[in-house]
Amino acid sequence: MPVGDEFEDAEVTVPSERLRAAGHEVTIVGTEEGGATLRGKRGRATVRVDVAAASAHPPDFEALVIPGGHSPDHLRMDAGVVSFVRRFWETGKTVAAVCHGPQLLIEADVVRGKTLTSWPSIRKDLENAGARWIDREVVEDGNLITSRKPDDLEAFSAAIIRRLERAEARPSS
């Protein structure tokens, strides 16, 4: 989960709690090593960075979950984070983004030809980047899962967990 300062509190805490309850480990990816503490924009949540994006290896993770708030706007200015998102995308594994999270996907240049949703204020940005935007609680297109806002977090988290369970059920090659 790539996270920067001023993340939308619930968009980190709810998916993290649901994923952990389903038996998954959540790793917070930030801009720097050293366990920096990041604050949510509402002041209700803090997280500690586990690993810097520049040293994170996409094959080590099963999914990428990008929360919104102001965090994606900060993170898209960091070349290490953008590179990590692009390299993760190239694995073909699940990529999920909620609210303003797709801003990082735009910066990584991976939304062209995809159908997704987001917070309404970035609709035009997504369309300009070649995506098709629709207003729906959860949109799935290939390996991509997107949602609009905190009210959608239960459905968003459930979609991620379903996808991970399907991936675990597939026989290894």
Active site residue 12: no
Calculate the alpha carbon distances from 72 to 1, 108, 129, 142, 162 in Å: 11, 11, 16, 22, 25
Q: Evaluate whether 131 touches 116 at the Cβ level (below 8 Å).
A: yes
Pairing of the two strands 144-147 and 94-98:
parallel
Sign of torsion over alpha carbons 100, 108, 95, 72: negative
Q: Which helix (H) or strand (E) holds 51?
A: strand 51-52
Catalytic residue among 12, 99, 144, 160: 99
- Residues annotated as part of the active site: 99
